[in-house]
Each structure stands twice: as structure tokens, then as C-alpha cells.
């Protein structure tokens, strides 16, 4: 049976619906920036920085042009010797690793826990105890936080830095604490795909360390120390005032949208609990998960993805190629096989997940997945060549 692509009924993202809900506040905020004539590093950016620092109980927030730049500036701020090994999970967005390469350090790719897909904490602790890395880029994948309490404590004892890649974890917490409690710096992204997205690019670096904050402030605009004096070689990575104003408006809805995603996640989880072939990832009890992504794992992932597409449901894969196998990272040295990450790349599928999904759309997604499993057992599909 050839499955064809149906017209899209449930797109993977619906930022149009999100905008409709905030149209008045968002257009007023953006218009007031245009009328002010301040395009960069003005009051909207300062207000956003103060808000982000407060939300994370951290002293400093530096708004920049992207989450990628926040990661790079955090790593530059650590001032690591060239070639330093830096741990990073092999299941993440490319920027988690490329930031390490940008500062001429060497990524040490780690496997993940197959139930949560979070970086293998035991492997991280082992690297820390053996002093085998100088820093760790800890990724809170899909919006579920990696517990950094023990990792942060032991790393601190041994002079190893911890950077949190919280690009996917705005609104998440671990035992009541948001990202930033156990690390040297925390990086956020406001890419349009994230839970709070700019209409363009944006990011922020958060820290209690005044040196890292000062370094990032200099790096984001050519090392400009005032009065056209440039004290170090930097970049142009400012956040636009318009983006800052829009992000600020959207932050008013963070909790409401997160609650809506959590309700949808609960329906997905219930539908797949005890399911023979499709499993949701493990949600840890002491976390608040922001459900940035809802990921399932299933042996016939490509078949399920095609079947969903045939019913008008768009899905995506985060991530189909593990970082240690990406061409731009592959030259970085001998990397052992990472079995769980490599298996995950073949089996994971991200379902549509946004606050504006309707009840009917969620029913359609769930029903289509259950139908697929009923229609043909996986054992029969495994050998099919379509």
C-alpha cells in the first residue's frame, strides 16, 4: 500500500496561531520601538535582561543575537587553553558542539540515557572524577532538565566549568530550581522554533560570574568599552530592540502556554502508556518539563513518519544524525561508538507540540498513531522495502 502525502492538516509549528493570541500587545510593543528610534541596546533589551536574570535567580543577563552566540561567549569567558576537552551529549542541536569547536576546544561526545535521552550522568561524573575534561556543556534536551546538582558540585571541586545549554528549557526546573543553579553560565535561545521565539534570531547568556558577564558584553559588540575604545576583538551580536520587546510580551504567556503543552503531553503519554511499539520518553518526577518537544521512540520510525504524513500530520526528527557523526565534528578525533545515541537517531520522532493545538488535532495525532500500530504489526513491516 503506497502512502501518499495528504494536504497538511496539523503542521509541525503554528506560530501564526500564537501571534493571533498576542497580536495587540505584540504590535503595540514593536511599534513603540519603531517610534522610539532606538534599534539596539536600548530600554527594551535592558528590561528583558533584568527579567531573565530575575526569572533564573541570577545576577547578570546579556542579550545576544542567538543561543549559539551565547554558548560561544560563555565558552570564551572560561578562557580554556586551546585543545581543552569539553564534554557534550552527542544528541543535541549542532550548536552545542560547534560552540566548543569555535573556541578551539575538543568536544568529548557522550552517550545518553535511552529512557530520557538526556546526557548519561554517570559518564559525566566519571569524566569529572578522572579530570578528563575541562568543561561540560550540559544540554536540557527537549525541555527536560538534566539534574546538575551533583555534577555541578563535583565539577566545582575539581575546577571544571559547567555551561548549561538551556536553549530548549525556558520555563523548566529541577526540584524547583530553573536552569542556572549549579553552573557557571546558562544559555537561552529565542529562535522562532523555541517555546518563546523571536521573529528572527535571539539569545541570552545568564551568569552570576561578573567576569563572564563582562566578557560577553564586550564580545557582543566588538569589544567596545565605551567612547569608541575597543579593548578586545569581538563580534556584532546584539539583540534588536524589536526582538526584545516581542520576547518580553511573549514571556507574559510562558506559564499559560506551558500549561497547555503539559495538558497535551499528558494526553499523548496516556495514549502511549503500555503501548507495544510506541513509547514516550521518561518524564522524571522531580522536574517541571516545559514540553518544548514531545518525542516518541518506535522501531519503525520512518514508517510511522510516512503514515502520519499520509494523514496530514507533520513531524520532525531531533536529531537524525548524532553530533559525533556530523561531518563538521568528525575530524575532532577518535570517538568511540555511542550505542544509545546511534539507536535513538533511528527511532525517535518529534510530534507536533504547541499550546494552540486543538483537541481534535491531538485526537487526530493519537488516533493516527494507534491506527498505524493496529494496521500492521512491526514484525511484518520490518522487512518491507518501501
> At closest approach, how far in Å is the CB of 254 from ligand PLP?
17
Selected from 111, 120, 164, 165, the binder of ligand PLP by CB under 6 A is 165
Out of 41, 45, 68, 298, name the contact with ligand PLP by CB under 6 A. Answer: 68
Our finding on whether 243 is near ligand PLP (CB under 6 A) is no
Q: Which stretch binds ligand PLP (CB under 6 A): 12-20, 93-101, 205-213, 252-260?
A: 93-101
| Min separation Cβ 225 and ligand PLP, Å | 26
Site for ligand PLP contains 322 (CB under 6 A): no
Question: Of these, 89, 179, 180, 203, which contacts ligand PLP (CB under 6 A)?
Answer: 203
What letter would DSSP give residue 165? E
Q: Which three cell numbers stand for residue 134?
A: 575541562
Establish if 209 lies at the interface with ligand PLP (CB under 6 A): no
- Per-residue exposure over 90-109, b if at least 16 CB sit within 10 Å of its own CB, e if not: bbbbebbbbbbbebebebbb
Minimum CB distance to ligand PLP, residue 92 (Å): 5
Q: Which of 88, 50, 18 is nearest to 204 (CA)?
A: 50
Instruction: Select the span of 42-50, 91-99, 176-184, 294-302 touching ligand PLP (CB under 6 A).
Output: 91-99
Q: How far is the C-alpha of 386 from the C-alpha of 369, rounded, in Å?
A: 19
116 binds ligand PLP (CB under 6 A): no
Q: Which of 93, 268, 272, 319 binds ligand PLP (CB under 6 A)?
A: 93
Q: Check residue 354 for interaction with ligand PLP (CB under 6 A).
A: no
Which grid coordinates are listed for 323?
Answer: 553530533
Q: Which stretch binds ligand PLP (CB under 6 A): 161-169, 256-264, 331-339, 348-356?
A: 161-169
Rounded Cα gap, residues 151 and 125, in angstroms: 6
Number of H helices, E strands in the chain: 14, 12
Cβ neighbours of residue 218 under 8 Å, at least 6 residues apart?
A: 224, 225, 231, 232, 234
Provide the b/e sequence for 252-279 (b: ≥16 CB within 10 Å): ebeeebbebbeebbeebeebbeeeebbb
Nearer Cβ to ligand PLP (78/97):
97
Provide φ and ψ at 297, rounded to 5°. -120, 135
| Residue 92 in contact with ligand PLP, rule: CB under 6 A | yes
Query: Is 350 a residue that touches ligand PLP (CB under 6 A)?
Result: no
291 is a site residue for ligand PLP (CB under 6 A): no
Read off φ and ψ for residue 268, nearest 5 degrees. -60, -50
290 counts as binding ligand PLP under rule CB under 6 A: no
Total residues in contact with ligand PLP, by rule CB under 6 A: 15
- What the block records as the C-alpha cell of 43 is 530600554
Residues that bind ligand PLP (CB under 6 A): 66-68, 92-93, 95-96, 139, 165, 167-168, 189, 191, 201, 203
Amino acid at each position: 500500500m503506497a502512502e501518499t502525502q495528504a494536504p497538511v492538516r496539523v503542521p509541525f509549528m503554528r506560530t501564526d496561531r500564537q501571534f493571533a493570541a498576542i497580536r495587540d500587545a505584540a504590535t503595540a510593543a514593536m511599534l513603540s520601538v519603531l517610534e522610539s528610534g532606538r534599534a539596539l541596546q536600548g530600554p527594551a533589551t535592558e528590561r528583558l535582561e533584568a527579567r531573565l536574570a530575575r526569572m533564573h535567580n541570577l545576577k547578570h543577563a546579556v542579550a545576544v543575537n542567538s543561543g549559539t552566540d551565547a554558548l560561544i561567549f560563555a565558552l570564551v569567558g572560561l578562557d580554556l587553553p586551546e585543545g581543552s576537552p569539553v564534554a557534550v551529549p552527542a544528541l543535541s542541536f549542532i550548536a552545542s558542539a560547534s560552540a566548543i569547536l569555535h573556541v578551539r576546544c575538543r568536544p568529548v561526545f557522550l552517550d545518553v540515557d535511552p529512557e530520557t535521552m538526556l546526557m548519561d550522568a554517570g559518564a559525566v561524573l566519571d569524566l569529572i572524577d578522572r579530570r578528563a575534561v575541562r568543561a561540560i556543556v550540559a544540554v536540557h534536551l527537549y525541555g527536560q532538565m538534566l539534574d546538575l546538582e551533583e555534577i555541578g558540585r563535583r565539577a566545582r571541586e575539581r575546577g571544571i566549568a559547567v555551561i548549561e545549554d538551556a536553549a530548549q528549557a525556558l520555563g523548566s526546573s529541577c526540584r524547583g530550581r530553573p536552569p542556572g543553579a549549579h553552573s557557571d553560565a546558562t544559555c537561552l535561545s529565542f529562535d522562532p522554533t523555541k517555546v518563546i521565539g523571536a521573529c528572527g534570531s535571539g539569545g541570552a547568556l545568564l551568569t552570576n560570574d561578573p567576569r563572564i558577564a563582562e566578557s560577553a558584553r564586550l564580545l557582543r559588540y566588538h569589544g567596545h568599552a565605551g567612547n569608541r575604545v575597543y579593548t578586545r576583538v569581538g563580534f556584532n551580536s546584539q539583540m534588536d530592540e524589536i526582538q526584545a520587546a516581542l520576547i518580553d510580551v511573549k514571556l507574559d504567556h510562558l506559564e499559560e502556554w506551558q500549561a497547555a503543552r503539559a495538558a497535551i503531553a499528558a494526553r499523548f503519554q496516556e495514549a502511549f502508556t503500555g503501548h507495544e511499539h510506541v513509547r514516550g520518553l521518561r518524564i522524571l518526577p522531580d522536574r517541571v518539563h516545559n514540553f518544548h518537544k514531545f518525542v516518541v521512540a518506535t522501531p519503525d520510525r520512518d514508517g510511522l513518519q510516512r503514515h502520519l504524513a499520509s494523514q496530514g500530520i507533520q513531524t520532525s526528527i531531533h536529531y537524525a544524525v548524532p553530533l559525533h557523526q556530523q561531518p563538521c565534528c568528525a575530524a575532532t578525533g577518535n570517538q568511540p561508538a555511542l550505542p544509545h545515541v546511534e539507536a535513538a537517531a533511528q527511532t525517535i520522532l518529534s510530534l507536533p507540540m504547541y499550546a494552540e493545538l486543538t483537541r481534535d488535532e491531538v485526537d487526530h495525532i493519537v488516533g493516527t498513531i494507534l491506527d498505524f500500530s493496529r494496521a500492521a504489526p512491526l514484525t511484518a513491516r520490518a522487512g518491507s522495502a518501501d
